[in-house]
Structure 1
């Protein structure tokens, strides 16, 4: 077997592992109703299956990245896959909702490190000329998973009739990944030979948990009201205090301890700017959630067909992730970030002001998808690796992933609040969706004007959401320009 063959097989192993973990929340979203029914819980209670998984991933990701740097990326990758598989089995076999939630937390510990370790391995084991393209492939895999996840979940649910199989299918895939990892992945490590920063690890983990708790308790349409609830603002203050404490610990860490997040990175403007762009890229990805409702309520497309119109932004993001990897190799990460931010701003701008029909929306959203899809894999990861150096690749990529996850978690609440405020001019006495369904069911001559009014209000309401996306994309464009500025000044 040639050297190229093991490298190819190792890459396939990483891709399959990333794809398996990235599918999870997309698949479970299609079965939430069935899961809630089987455990006799409400819709609000049922969302904790996703919320706790997100919390677990946010906390475990930077920890696993650091441990992988210290003890070996191959070793931690296989452990993560095994934990994810065992967690999947525990979820599928849960006999109560409490056990289900506990299993989801355990599963998240495995899911949190798979993408980060795969990215770190590529940055340490492959030549720089290939890194951009390979990271782009990993980003494209994430994009593909986000598009096919809900559809694949629905297919499995229809074929088996039981939501448990959504998690049991992970077991044979995980077994193949473990076998492939044992036989094809070389071991790589960061240059770390010091004590683990336990103080930093504990304070950062608890701080992230508190912040994510606040985010998960924000209520759509009642943003300010939910913020002033004692448990929310107290958790927010606790989270801020713990993060400030973490920064102080990292500033004063002794020479014999390997800092969890080196203080020189926290002082690096480029590192912090990349974290901000990561958070904003997560907020852009959250637009996916609202596409079906938008095309249904804006263009009058039936609910059964509304998901089809996600294909433009979904496929665009997949193509964009691949293009982003190629451009990083040719132009560099900063310039690629500039291009991606510009394309995203143009695409979302066209959606907001120049998409009078579904066909135009498909074209405009595809441009937006290509733009923010370029950010999903290579550019920001390569920037992080540049600022952190090989020694701290894992923790830097882990921190980037957490910032993206926070953006992905908080943005839907903000978007939904903006949309609901736009509909406040209509006296609906219920949710937007139920009001719209009633209009369609009672489409008489007297209600046709109400339906026309609804479509007009929907255009204005969702337009505000897409304008926010334009602003976020413009900030990413500016961030890429600022990161690239020192290079231009140096020349």
Structure 2
């Protein structure tokens, strides 16, 4: 009886601690977005270099997720959780103390290695310790925190920057949380690990890391205003080829490793399973949903004409809805299964995203659409995909399988912003040509970052009626670009529904 109570207490503490850690690590990528200009000014670097403080974090997470998942299966989830949290804390402290930009990038990479595996470790711990009928709710909580952190991050970053006036505090606030997690993680979480003794597949890890870095670097350098020419450029094409070849070599190498009875970093037996491949595809699409959040403040400012200092706060309804959606997704997964929950996520997400281009014209309509889109997003971030991955994996492979799912989601987060930016930038290109015909002013701009400069130029128009005409035309043209983005997201939701229906039929 006492052992049963201790086991239940440990499970409760594990869920609480993992949830806090997932929220903290997810928050740190969004929180820095509000301080990019400030950090760039501090170290006298260009905006293009400044964005590497975000890019290097994404790289680190993409590299660490599958490797940490494998290590947690082998050496223990509690042990790897403590190591990850410690690295995250050290990285946070080093970022805040950075004397130059190169030091900051190295520190952000350390921070990413520490934060990258937390979600995977927590999810695999849940799959290994909780009965199947309770896994959905717990995984739904994890997904909710992951979604909330992505949306709340920019708002919290703006608040801290406004309150303290120093970007360093965005990272220093992590330190007391890290200390709390280490102390209580060490004393309250029971160790779990897979019964394996094989050594880590180091060569496979190196090939995987090289492929991820090459692929993501190439995607980052894509020019959304000129797809074909940039795709064939020396900064993109060679890296994409290296990335693709690396993954092909990895699959062949992992197959040979598994045939020899050894332990690959990504088991070939998993990749062969239709359920696992379909789940990874939905994971890629969920990265596309998350990527759309990046452009919500710009949409609110440029289409709904909300002041820039208030635009970020309009993410709050979607943030709350994604948390609620993740929880509901967990409950539905327990009751009706992951496949049917995916179908519901597709329907709700489609309605939410399609409402933006056809109905949204103010706060009330925006609120309804963002809540529905957020709930659909929350479903995908929570239990269904993790449960399907758990079904695909054999006992002892959960961490590896979940790590691969997180990796695919990171690739989606790298790919879809480029696509969305291209759709929006296309509207700006069209706008540039139209303004030349309507006015004699030299309107020169290329992307959404120049919206403020554009408004300043519009204010120079002396004729009030002409000014209103130009403002109306700008709003309509920009809305067309954002509409294409939301329609694309709606199409992703339809594909999610189709995959869910297919898996449900094949069950």
Q: Write the distance in 1 (CA, Å) between the matches of 2:15 and 2:261.
A: 35
Counting matched residue pairs gives 487
Tell me the equivalent position of 1:438: 456
Q: Write the distance in 1 (CA, Å) between the matches of 2:70 and 2:143.
A: 21
Q: Are 1:37 and 2:41 matched, yes or no?
A: yes
How is 1:254-333 mapped onto 2 (pairs within 5 angstroms)?
Answer: 254-333=259-338
Q: Write the distance in 2 (CA, Å) between the matches of 1:277 and 1:486.
A: 16
| CA deviation vs aligned residue, 1:151-181 (integer Å, no higher than 9, x gap) | 2222222232221111111111101001111
Q: Aligned match of 2:381 in 372, 376, 379?
A: 376
Tell me the equivalent position of 1:459: 479
Tell me the equivalent position of 1:409: 414
| CA deviation vs aligned residue, 1:213-259 (integer Å, no higher than 9, x gap) | 11221233233332222132111111111111001111211434112
TM-score by length of 1: 0.96
Tell me the equivalent position of 2:353: 348
Report the CA distance between 1:66 and its aligned residue. Answer: 0.3
Tell me the equivalent position of 2:64: 60
**Higher deviation after alignment, 44-53 or 453-462:** 453-462
Report the CA distance between 1:269 and its aligned residue. Answer: 1.4
Q: Write the distance in 2 (CA, Å) between the matches of 1:111 and 1:410.
A: 21
Query: Residue 201 of structure 1 contacts residue 260 of structure 1 at CA under 8 Å; is this kept in 2?
Result: yes
Query: Residue 52 of structure 1 contacts residue 104 of structure 1 at CA under 8 Å; is this kept in 2?
Result: yes
Report the CA distance between 1:198 and its aligned residue. Answer: 2.4
Tell me the equivalent position of 1:361: 366
TM-score by length of 2: 0.93
In the alignment, structure 2 segments of 5+ residues that lack a partner are 433-442
Tell me the equivalent position of 2:495: 475
Query: Residue 295 of structure 1 contacts residue 358 of structure 1 at CA under 8 Å; is this kept in 2?
Result: no
Query: Residue 344 of structure 1 contacts residue 369 of structure 1 at CA under 8 Å; is this kept in 2?
Result: yes
Report the CA distance between 1:307 and its aligned residue. Answer: 2.3
Report the CA distance between 1:64 and its aligned residue. Answer: 0.5
**Higher deviation after alignment, 294-303 or 66-75:** 294-303
Q: Write the distance in 2 (CA, Å) between the matches of 1:119 and 1:139.
A: 10
Structure 1 residues 324 and 292, CA gap change in structure 2 (3 angstroms): same
Query: Residue 155 of structure 2 contacts residue 312 of structure 2 at CA under 8 Å; is this kept in 1?
Result: no
Q: Aligned match of 2:397 in 392, 398, 418?
A: 392
Tell me the equivalent position of 2:444: 429
Task: Report SS of the residue matched to 2:380.
Answer: coil
Query: Residue 60 of structure 2 contacts residue 113 of structure 2 at CA under 8 Å; is this kept in 1?
Result: yes
Task: Report SS of the residue matched to 2:396.
Answer: helix
Q: Are 1:8 and 2:24 matched, yes or no?
A: no
Task: Report SS of the residue matched to 1:193.
Answer: coil
Q: Write the distance in 2 (CA, Å) between the matches of 1:305 and 1:102.
A: 33
